[in-house]
Structure 1
Amino acid sequence: MKGRLVLPLLALGGCSGAQAPLDAWGVQAERIAALSHVLFWGGGLIFLITMGALVLAIAAPAHWRQRMGTRSFAIAAGIVFPVVTLTALLAHALGVSRAIMRPMSDAPMRVEIVGRQFWWEVRYPDLGEGALTANALHLPVGREVELHLTSGDVIHSVWIPNLHGKMDMIPGRVNRQRLRADRTGVLRGQCTEFCGLQHTLMAFDVVVQEPAEFEAWVARQRAPVPAPETAAQRRGMQVFGEAGCGACHAVRGTEWKARIAPDLSRVGSRLTLAAGALANRHSNLAGWIAAPQDIKPGNAMPAYARALEGADLLAVTDWLESLR
């Protein structure tokens, strides 16, 4: 009995959640979900009609089978019906495709997302200098956003199932996608174009906030990080510089302004680490600094387990965790 329940439960798992195309959080996703229902139920109906015709061809009375073997029936069922049905579905699908690309406002908020192996750089150029983050996309609820999508290395592809369809990110090219989130909460985006060894661990959080909460988040992103409050945090900041972390990472309000690796200015407030690979907890952050290649082999982060003493490693973790 339990085994019979597994398949329906797995099927229902795709109907809601933080990465579910049928759980639409915006108008574009609603149209895509509606198209999916048309194709699913339409395909199911055609399957039933086909199976019914097969049963009639085998078990129906002789005069029925004779009619089904005529030239006119073959033309109607084998040519006219498929052509009309597929043409109608194509016209409907093209209409949906055009509708989801149609602008909803004249002044959407611009967000630039750059895909990199294997993380995401997210910038808000319309909101002032310093409005940027990594591996997290924050959106104000109810406001149209235009994503400017590109890549810094190989071809990536971004997909936020609850908000829109997939869009490729190509080096040297900017693709645009408009969307609007109509619910607050946390969603998940994912790279859907194979881009290397850690393609499957290249995700990001999508945090949809009330407008006032979003503005407060932007203000925190633009502001310098707070000064260390404890001796451990002060030591952690010192070790961060001595270990050369600032050669790759930026921390706003400090001398470290590199753009090679994710910006760490507010890393303590993020929900996940390593592009969605780990929940943002003290132990996971320490483990990531110590042995990133054991967690996500092939990424560009060097391991510091041997380069740092245990106390220094924990001090760096304490300081980064305080950056909220």
Structure 2
Amino acid sequence: MHPGPVPRSRHESPAGKPLRGAPRLRIAAASCCGLAWHARGASAAPAHDALSPAGVQASHIFSLWTLTLTVCSLVFAAVLIALLVAMTRAPRANRDARPDLSPLERPEKRVGRVVGGAAAVSVVLLFGLLLADVATDRALSRLPVADAVHLEMTGHQWWWEARYADDAPGSGFAVANELHIPVGRPVVIALKADDVIHTFWVPNLHGKKDMIPGRQSTIEFRADRAGAYRGQCAEFCGLEHALMAFTVVAEPPAQYDAWVARQRAPAPQPANALQAQGERLFTTGNCAGCHTVRGTSAHGVLGPDLTHVMSRPMLGAGTFENTPANLESWIKAPGSMKPGTTMPASQLSAQDLNALVAWIGTLQ
């Protein structure tokens, strides 16, 4: 179920042809406005709102944005008022009236003082915004990271891979398109890109951070309020850029620890003959060449780790709800649900497909 191809460049289709303007604008606008979560069948979208900060980093950015908006709004209003006053007080003239050139001989000192004062105020306001920007940047870099959760996030075309660091040898694990973090505890994420430039963005928790192939950067934040927050790739990265979302679930420490314990566990054993047939089809067929399911012989690395795939609310990087019906449709014809994916369509019979879906359904 690998969800994405690698175009020849960031602005070419899988066939190597430039993307046409209309689809490109449609995709880019959808993602930037947070519309990718219109995801087919999505019933409840996590919050995706830069104006509703849920962490200290996002609060700093929101305060700077509020100050900037206030200053710019007041300046804009002042300019409009000055324009209206000038238009109201300007003398009326007809076509035959001669131009008034007297100000060239007699400088208008009052007007000069007003313009000079306005310029001085503008300089002061701009300098104040510069200081506020520097202060915000310093505040963002001073987040205490003692006892932080460390993980690695890799952007692929078009899905997200998160690997949680080993607290003990062999205890690390990977998830796809979903992060769980404890409330009140800092998180340090190492950001990587597997193919083209992506951008990590969870506006409720922090600003944007680019993910550049061949380079590693980090982003640090802390969630101070429990909830589910939507993340999105904010850099156009190919055909399905708009459908490249993920969810950050901030939960109390006890719930987070319980989630980690469940994720570290291997896949359960089949409970009946139908599920055993599904596991055999998965591990001996093409699925195992791309996907890992811990506890089985499947150790593929091209696609998402599916060990606990059915515990995730969405499939296809936020494209559609994780239900047995959608899962079956995805396996049969993934290209019809997410055009551009490189996962091939299934050639399984209806009986084998039913067995495969039954077994995958146990991967909680």
| TM-score (normalizing by structure 1) | 0.89
Q: Deviations over 1:214-256 (max 9, x none)?
A: 1111111111111011332212111112322011100011111
Report if the CA contact (8 A) 2:145-2:187 is conserved. no
Give the whole-Å Cα distance in 2 for the aligned partners of 1:163 and 1:253.
35
Cα distance in structure 1, aligned partners of 2:180 and 2:48: 16
One of 204, 207, 216 as aligned partner of 1:162: 204
CA distance in 1, matches of 2:111, 2:54: 51
Equivalent in the alignment of 2:271: 229
Give the equivalent residue in structure 2 for 1:88.
128
Distance of 1:314 and 1:180 partners within structure 2: 42
Shift of residue 180, structure 1, vs aligned partner: 0.5
Root mean square deviation of aligned Cα: 2.2
Greater Cα radius of gyration, structure 1 or 2: 2
262-271 vs 281-290, which deviates more? 281-290
1:249 equivalent to 2:291? Answer yes
Q: Which runs of 5 or more residues in structure 2 are unaligned? A: 1-32, 36-44, 92-106
Relative contact order higher in (CA < 8 Å, ≥ 6 apart)? 2
User: How far does residue 69 in structure 1 lie from its aligned partner after superposition?
Assistant: 6.4
The AA in structure 2 aligned to 1:124 is Y
- State the alpha-carbon separation in 2 of the partners of residues 68 and 17 from structure 1: 59
Deviations 1:173-202 (A, max 9, x none): 111111001122211110011111111111
Per the alignment, residue 342 of structure 2 pairs with 300
CA contact (8 A) 2:145 2:188 kept: no
Q: Is it true that 1:316 corresponds to 2:356 in the alignment?
A: yes
CA distance in 1, matches of 2:355, 2:147: 45
Q: 2:330 aligns with which of 285, 288, 294?
A: 288
The residue type equivalent to 2:116 in the other structure is I
Measure the CA separation in 2 of the matches of 1:171 and 1:298: 21
What corresponds to 2:143 in structure 1?
Answer: 103
Count of equivalent residues: 306
Residues 163 and 175, structure 2, Cα contact 8 Å, conserved in 1: yes
What residue number does 2:313 align with?
A: 271
1:146 aligns to 2:175 (yes or no): no
Is the alpha carbon distance of 1:69 and 1:299 closer, same or farther for their aligned partners in structure 2, counting shifts above 3 Å?
farther
> Counterparts in 2 of 1:1-324, with a 5 A limit?
18-60=47-89, 70-77=111-118, 79-128=119-168, 129-304=171-346, 307-324=347-364
CA shift in 2, pair 1:89/1:57, >3 Å: same
Gaps of 5+ in 1: 1-10
The answer as to whether partners of 2:191 and 2:211 remain within 8 angstroms in 1 is yes
Q: SS in structure 1 opposite 2:151?
A: strand
Change (3 A) 1:68 1:279: farther
Distance 1:290 1:43, change over 3 A: same
Determine the C-alpha separation between the residues in 2 that align with 1:132 and 1:17.
Answer: 22
Q: For the Cα contact (< 8 Å) 1:288–1:295, is it kept in 2? A: yes
Corresponding residue number in structure 1 for 2:100: none
Which moved further from structure 2: 18-27 or 308-317? 308-317
More helix by share: 1
In 1, Cα distance between the equivalents of 2:323 and 2:311? 10
Report the alpha carbon displacement of residue 73 of structure 1 after superposing the two structures with TM: 2.1
- Call closer, same or farther: CA 1:205–1:319 in 2, change over 3 Å: same
**Superposed displacement of residue 17, structure 1:** 5.9
CA distance in 2, matches of 1:113, 1:17: 20
Q: Tell me, yes or no, if the aligned pair for 1:159 and 1:167 is still in contact at 8 Å.
A: yes
Q: Are the aligned partners of 1:67 and 1:73 in contact in 2 as well (CA < 8 Å)?
A: no
Change in Cα spacing, 1:311 to 1:96, as seen in structure 2 (3 Å) is same
* Secondary structure at 2:219 match in 1: strand
Instruction: Report the residue type matching 2:126 in the other structure.
Output: L
1:131 CA displacement: 2.2
Hey, what does 1:6 align to over in structure 2?
none
TM-score by length of 2: 0.80
CA displacement at 1:105 relative to structure 2: 3.2
Cα distance in 1 for residues equivalent to 2:311 and 2:109: 68
Check conservation: 1:114, 1:149, Cα contact below 8 A: yes
